[in-house]
Amino acid sequence: MRHRSKLAANLVTHLALVCMLGVAGVALTTAPATAQPAAALGKPLPSPDLAVGTISVRIVAGSMSSPVVGTDVTLVVNGTPRVART
C-alpha cells in the first residue's frame, strides 16, 4: 500500500513539473509587445527632455528601428511653411 501512495506522489510531482515547464515554454515563445507607430501618427507625445514648444519629428521606413535620415520635413506654423532636415 505504501508503494502505491509513493508512486502516486511521484506521478503527481512529475505531472506538476511537466505542467510548469509547459506553461514556462508558452510564456517564453509568445511574441513580445511591439510599438504601434500607426497609433502615434499625428499625435503629440510628451517628452521631458524637450523644451516647451520644441518639436521633434521622426520618420521611419517600415519599422521604428529603421529611421530615415536626411529627409526634408515641412511644418506649417501660423500659415508659414518651415523646412527642416532629419
* Grid cell listed for 60: 521611419
Q: How many residues does the chain have?
A: 86
The whole-number pLDDT of residue 62 equals 80
Q: Give the SS3 label for residue 83.
A: strand
Tens of pLDDT, residue by residue, the chain (86 residues): 566 676 666 666 766 666 565 666 655 565 555 666 677 777 777 788 888 888 888 888 887 788 899 989 898 889 999 998 88
* Grid cell listed for 38: 500607426
What is the residue whose three cell numbers read 506538476?
16
| DSSP codes, 44-68 | ----TTS-TT------BSSSTTSB-
The letter for the amino acid at 2 is R
Residue 15, beta-bridge partner list:
none
Q: In the chain, where are the structural domains located?
A: 1-30, 37-86
The whole-number pLDDT of residue 79 equals 92
